[in-house]
């Protein structure tokens, strides 16, 4: 296994989209992520003010084939979906169809209850900001056997919520911060109650179609990815093998969509550029609270708004971003405060974090991704 990993790293030296013999800064950062053992990486930087649009990639689409990673490849965006869901909720707020202070109980009665959970005191804002206190259930896929057993399982949102309700809250609503996928599953359910339509249809008609994002899709129960795409690999345990986890059914309102670096960047530039929300709702989205725990370790100084992180730039100021980790894929999207510049990087392998988080390859992978985004947005 060790010799196989050495061979993979050597193959990763083959670069797609480089600039002559001397790679540019974006290519160097892509290569640095690959050198950690990531099978494939693609990244795109866009500066709308200058018209710059640069994409770089490295690695192979499949460890058993020679095809190189495409800069136009599709991937699972994971939690970047949360920003889309938050945007739809805030559009509904702007239309007067609900408020951020509405409670969960008002829209979906008798769903959040038991073991100290109480939907009558949890607000829509708290769901979107991860301040509801709802306990995050442990991930189901922690081993390769789990993946093979569960990869085609269709998850009912109410079952996801019921699983979380088996635990007491982590804290009283509004009294802390803790990342909660369940909070966004509930947000999707609220969208459906307000609009009488599936949450992903609202994302499509309110965001994807108006912006012309034709390469962004909600896959539903389809486990495969469109072509072209790289295979996704998951390292379930430190120093363990990379398992091909490309096929997966996992499309709820916390992680749902498939996209490309071009579409993802366009979404975030338009959002921060004021094209999707009125100033009042965009200001609410950008009103943040501090994060803590492992999240604070990965993004020092970060805070969280409604579906968006605010992260300090090394060159001064802040940028807005979201990370999306979904079995086999890892994505970061960052955009400047005015929406003019975006940097998106997608990895087709996620490395294990392990018990010693700060010393793990998975942690190093996350930090290298952050450095790419920071370097690109700070570029003179």
DSSP string, 239-279: TPPEEE-------STTT--EE-HHHHHHHHHHHHTTSSS-H
Q: Provide the pLDDT for residue 359.
A: 87
366 has pLDDT over 70: yes
Give the rounded percent of residues in the chain with a pLDDT score beyond 90: 88
68, pLDDT greater than 60: yes
Alpha helix (H) residue ranges in the chain: 2-11, 25-34, 80-94, 104-107, 124-129, 144-150, 157-165, 181-195, 199-203, 209-211, 261-272, 279-285, 293-298, 361-378
CA atoms within 13 A on the CB side of 279: 1
* Rounded CA separation 234/243 (Å): 5
Q: Stretch 137-147: mean pLDDT, rounded?
A: 90
57 three-class SS: strand
Q: Which of 101-105, 270-274, 352-356, 366-370 has the lowest mean pLDDT?
A: 352-356
Cα separation of 116 and 118, whole Å?
A: 6
* 31 phi, psi to nearest 5 deg: -65, -35
pLDDT tens for each residue of 199-255: 999 999 999 999 999 999 999 999 999 999 999 999 999 989 999 999 999 999 999
**pLDDT of amino acid 13:** 33
DSSP state of 154: P
Of the candidates 338, 376, 340, 373, the one whose C-alpha atom is nearest the C-alpha of residue 48 is 340
Are 122 and 103 a contacting pair, CB within 8 Å? yes
Cα–Cα distance measured from residue 22 to residue 19, given in angstroms and rounded to the nearest whole number? 6
pTM > 0.75: yes or no: yes
Cβ atoms of residues 350 and 18 within 8 Å: no
Using the predicted structure, report yes or no on whether residue 129 has a pLDDT greater than 60. Answer: yes
CB 202 within 8 A of CB 90: no
Whether residue 43 is preceded by a cis peptide bond, meaning omega within 30 degrees of 0, is no
| Two structure tokens written together for 95 | 């239309």
At 358 the pLDDT is 86
pLDDT tier at 138, thresholds 50, 70, 90: confident
Say how far apart CA 78 and CA 186 lie, in whole Å: 16
Task: Show the domains of the chain with their CATH numbers.
Answer: 1-35 (no CATH), 46-53+70-380 (3.40.710.10)
Quote the pLDDT of residue 10.
32
* Residues 314-361 pLDDT 10s: 999 999 999 999 999 999 999 999 999 999 999 999 999 877 888 899
Rounded distance between C-alpha atoms, residue 348 and residue 71, angstroms: 12
């Amino acid at each position: 296994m060790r010799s196989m990993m050495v061979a993979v790293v050597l193959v990763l030296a083959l670069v797609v989209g480089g600039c002559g013999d001397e790679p540019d800064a974006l290519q160097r950062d892509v290569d640095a992520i690959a050198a950690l053992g990531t099978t494939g990486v693609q990244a795109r930087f866009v500066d709308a003010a200058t018209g710059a649009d640069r994409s770089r990639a490295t690695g192979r689409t499949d460890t058993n084939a020679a095809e190189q990673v495409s800069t136009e490849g599709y991937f699972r965006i994971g939690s970047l979906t949360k920003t889309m869901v938050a945007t739809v909720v805030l559009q509904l707020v702007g239309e007067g169809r609900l408020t951020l202070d509405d409670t969960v109980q008002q829209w979906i009665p008798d769903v959040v209850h038991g073991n100290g959970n109480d939907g009558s005191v949890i607000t829509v804002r708290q769901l979107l900001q991860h301040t509801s206190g709802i306990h995050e259930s442990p991930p189901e896929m922690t081993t390769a056997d789990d993946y093979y057993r569960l990869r085609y399982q269709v998850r009912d949102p109410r079952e996801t919520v019921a699983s979380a309700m088996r635990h007491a809250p982590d804290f009283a609503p509004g009294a802390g911060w803790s990342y909660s996928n369940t909070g966004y599953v509930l947000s999707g359910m609220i969208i459906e109650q307000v609009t009488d339509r599936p949450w992903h249809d609202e994302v499509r008609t309110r965001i994807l179609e108006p912006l012309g994002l034709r390469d962004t899709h909600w896959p539903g129960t389809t486990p495969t990815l469109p072509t072209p795409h790289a295979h996704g690999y998951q390292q379930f345990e430190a120093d363990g093998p990379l398992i091909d986890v490309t096929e997966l059914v996992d499309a709820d309102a916390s992680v749902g969509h498939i996209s490309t670096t071009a579409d993802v960047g366009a979404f975030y530039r338009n959002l921060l550029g004021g094209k999707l929300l009125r100033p009042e709702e965009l200001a609410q989205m950008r009103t943040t609270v501090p994060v803590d725990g492992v999240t604070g370790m990965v993004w020092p100084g970060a805070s969280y708004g409604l579906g968006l992180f605010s992260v300090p730039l090394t060159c001064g100021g802040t940028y807005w971003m979201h990370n999306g980790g979904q079995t086999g894929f890892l994505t970061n999207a960052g955009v400047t405060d005015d929406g003019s510049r975006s940097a998106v990087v997608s990895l087709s392998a996620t490395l294990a974090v392990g018990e010693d988080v700060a010393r793990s390859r998975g942690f190093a992978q996350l930090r290298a991704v952050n450095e790419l985004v920071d370097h690109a947005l700070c570029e003179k």
